[in-house]
Chain A
Amino acid sequence: MANAQPLLSVRGVSKAFLGVSALENVDFTLQAGEVHALLGENGAGKSTLIKIITGAYRRDEGEVLLEGTPIHPRDVVDAQKLGIGTVYQEVNLLTNLTVAENLFLGRQPKRFGLTDVREMNRRSKAILDTYGLDIDVTAPLANFSVAIQQVVAIARAVDISGKVLVLDEPTASLDAHEVEMLFAVVRQLRARGMGIIFISHFLDQVYEIADSITVLRNGRLIDTVPVAGLDRLKLVSMMLGRQLEADIKRTIDPNTAQSEPLVSLRGLGKRGNIDPLDLDIRQGEVVGIAGLLGSGRTETAQLVFGIERADSGTISVAGTPVNMSSPRKAIAQGFAFCPEDRKTDGIVGDLSVRENIIFALQAQRGWMRPLSRSEQEALADRYIAALDIRTSDREKPIKFLSGGNQQKVLLARWLATNPRFLILDEPTRGIDVGAHAEIIRLIIDLCERGMALLVISSELGELVGYSSRIIVLRDRKMVSELTGDEISTDHIMKAIASHDATGEAA
């Protein structure tokens, strides 16, 4: 790479939150006229790296050079002025303003001290023309599809910044046609000599548009490689991490596979979330769900727990079809669900550990039948001891606990309801190693005591370790169901990396 000075280079950047390292000594180099994909699962450090580049976070260590000059952007606006523009998946424009106002917010052309709306509209039209977009620039942005909003966001970013463009999952909510339109714009910008950082979890798209790929995992740089000739399976294993030792597997009692299913899904699906799928979960069984981010994993769990309503299919519990239209109905069937986003969907931050533990049980009993204080304390103490929840005091607000301990409190909350069927969405994400092992042990323990479990995880080794069966999702479809000896990280990765017949050949 000695031929040309890189457009943007990141050297040895580290960042920690509350002493937990989010990014460790990462290097990243972007050339002018290059589309560089940044890949990794949740928590890999992609968004932390992007936020450091775009000025949203300050780095703890390392340097960022733009065209050879060290930069220290104070905030996102400062980074824009330096030449680094960003477009997010949730378009960060103002949908209540017109297209032209969005393009020129803060730098509207003036005439006699007033905004020259005609000039602004004319120039907006001219800018969008270069992207082949012929739309009414005087209409509110909300009138247009997300794809067009993305292009407007790109146009604004390029017009203001013009050197580096960061596209953070821009295609997540676009259809194939819209993706093509967006990619045409990206190719055009690449031809103009811009450097583009492209974040996506759609591997097909990465192969289509990117020139090189950088993979992060657990805050570390795994590798930077050119796309040409890169094997898909190798890429997936870089992202998910390949177990060097042989997969450790739990021995499974063959009799469980014969018993009647506790929960049966038949053709359960919701348009735009997950295609209809069939699945049986028996008592004493852990069913694992594997798949990349955005493959429909969480969406499946949300349908089963009644958070989202299915538009097709049925759920039966012990052979009886049930109406699963709200979490309350699911809980009444003995279901329990530990969500992925603990902070917004799980913990009730200002309430104490005790209150959080008894919360679901109390909600189930209704407000008229309160648990007495002594019952509450007994329950809380029992689970604090049983799950080894590290807290100085059961009356401490849960928001002050570490991630691992919060997760254990949420598990305790559901175990206190004595569920038949427990759904765990990424139960070990973002928690320390000790708690990690304990939660895995707990999953196995619960299963052996006859509970039915559905576990979603990106940690394939872990999933292989405790699952009786694993289903693999890709692009919101169930593509494979692995049982017995098929359960291995290799098989999962092959299923994830495999193509549809309609896709291009690898």
Chain B
Amino acid sequence: MKNSKYLPLMATFVVFVLAYIICISVFPNMLSTRVAGNLLTDNAFLGITAVGMTFVILSGGIDLSVGSVIAFTGVFLSVILRDTSIHPLAAFAIVLVLTTAFGAAMGGIIFFLDMPPFIVTLAGMFLARGISYLLTTESVPITHPFYSTLQDIYFLMPGGGRLTLIAIIMLVVFAVGIVLAQRTRFGTYVYALGGNLTSAQLMGVPVAKTTIGIYALSGFLAGLSGIVFSLYTSAGYSLAAVGVELDAIAAVVIGGTLLTGGYGFVAGTFLGICIQGLIQTYIVFDGTLSSWWTKIVIGLLLFGFIALQRGLMWMSERSARNMRHASAAQPSSA
């Protein structure tokens, strides 16, 4: 069982490679930096929030509020840029502070009231969506010139593909996320919480601080994702990003992270996003298939990965039991 920690990640990688091979063997055109660039741009907001979701799930929690927070961010930005003369950068700062505080508050409630993250973030989902409805129920276009400036920034890849600013932001978020998870105390604490809460507490992990930090991070990234989404759509709409939390959870699980926490990698989530993107791109290229296939295939992949993880758990439990039996079978007196 030496590699059981990496097995789901390897499975993700295999699925990704297979999906890519299938795609380019059917549609050779998909092998271009243009398609790759579009894939990254289209999924930038999802990827950013999925990084936050990875940390939440690694710690054994869940955050259902991210889709609503994305919508809130877009609505907030569009309204504030329409009604005031605040510079977008200042508006970005304000909204990030708000969403981070929102996440931190949910983390605080989860820890101090000792309630399941599921129900707490469900309340957060209702609240964020409700507030964005209160701000406006219409789709508000963002016409600030600074937005056009940002939208025009891109890096031309060989082959003519465009790596847009928002795609770059996503890649940077993934890079920072990987470092945060693997190279900081906070990251280790996140894994510790997901591994075993009691042990973590006994080993001196600051559980309160870490829990609040995790949900604050998820809130911050949902806010950043909302900014990216508003750059992507040039509008704020309170009905936007419905169900994004499910897509993000799916990306994390397909990326090989154990839904019960403790095992997984931020890099896997990136592959999960790419797999989802490939499915969508394939459907677009095909033209006859409908978009609902995306959901069905993702559902199948979810089931596959959950069953794989369950199977791995059974195997490790069995081998642990066998190890004990083998040892107990020998005489214990020397």
Contact = CB atoms under 8 A, between A and B. Distances in A.
A49 interface: no
Contact of B203 (A92, A145, A271, A504): A92
A476 B333 CA distance: 12
Interface in B114-137: none
Contact of B324 (A115, A142, A272, A504): A272
A274 to B, nearest CB: 10
B185 interface: yes
B1 to A, nearest CB: 7
A312 interface: no
B188 A475 contact: no
A204 B333 contact: yes
Nearest to B262: A96
B333 A117 contact: no
Nearest to A174: B327
Contacts of A475: 331-333
A77 B332 contact: no
B203 A93 contact: yes
Nearest to B200: A94
B242 interface: no
A24 B97 CA distance: 55
Contacts of B188: 97, 101, 105, 108, 115
A176 B331 contact: yes
Q: How large is the interface on B (under 10, 10 to 19, 20 to 34, 35 or more residues)?
A: 35 or more
Nearest to A156: B203
B332 A176 contact: yes
Nearest to A270: B325
A175 interface: yes
B333 A176 contact: yes
Contact of B327 (A106, A173, A499): A173
A76 B203 CA distance: 8
Given A95-B195, A97-B195, A101-B188, A175 B183 contact: no
A177 B198 CA distance: 30
Interface string B182-226: 111101100110111011101111000000000000000000000
Interface string B279-322: 00000000000000000000000000000000000001000010
Interface in A113-154: 114-115, 117, 139-140, 142-143, 145-146
B5 interface: yes
A485 interface: no
Interface in A169-218: 173-180, 202, 204-205, 208
* Cβ-closest 10 pairs across A and B: A175-B327, A272-B325, A272-B328, A96-B195, A96-B262, A94-B195, A77-B204, A114-B183, A204-B333, A271-B325
Nearest to A311: B325
B204 A500 contact: no
B199 A503 contact: no
B10 to A, nearest CB: 15
A89 B231 CA distance: 55
A271 B333 contact: no
Interface string A299-311: 0000000000000
Contacts of A502: 331, 333
A406 interface: no
A500 B334 CA distance: 11
A271 B192 contact: no
Contacts of A94: 191-192, 195-196, 199-200, 203, 262
A97 B196 CA distance: 11
A105 B205 contact: yes
A155 to B, nearest CB: 13
Nearest to A88: B202
A91 B187 CA distance: 22
Contacts of B328: 173, 175, 271-273, 476
A156 B188 CA distance: 16
Contacts of B198: 92
B204 to A, nearest CB: 4
Contacts of B194: 96
Contacts of A271: 325, 328-329
A94 B179 CA distance: 21
A105 B204 contact: yes
A467 interface: no
A208 B316 contact: no
A14 interface: no
A114 B332 contact: no
Nearest to A77: B204
A106 B334 contact: no
B323 interface: yes
Interface string A247-280: 0000000000000000000000001110000000
A500 B331 CA distance: 10
Contacts of A97: 188, 191-192, 195
B330 interface: yes
A503 B332 CA distance: 10
A283 interface: no
B25 to A, nearest CB: 37
A176 B2 contact: no
A92 B202 contact: yes
Given A95-B195, A476-B328, 14 more contacts: A77-B203, A97-B195, A106-B203, A106-B205, A108-B185, A114-B184, A117-B182, A139-B2, A142-B1, A142-B5, A173-B324, A204-B333, A271-B325, A500-B331
Contacts of B203: 77, 92-94, 105-106, 156
A208 B332 CA distance: 12
Contacts of A428: none
A468 interface: no
Interface in B34-51: none
B263 interface: yes
Given A105-B203, A106-B205, A115 B333 contact: no
A107 to B, nearest CB: 9
Contacts of A273: 328
A96 B263 contact: yes
A205 B333 CA distance: 7
Given A77-B204, A105-B205, A115 B184 contact: yes
8 contacts: A92-B202, A94-B199, A114-B179, A117-B183, A142-B4, A143-B2, A146-B323, A502-B331
A96 B191 contact: yes
Given A94-B191, A108-B185, A114-B184, A202 B332 contact: yes
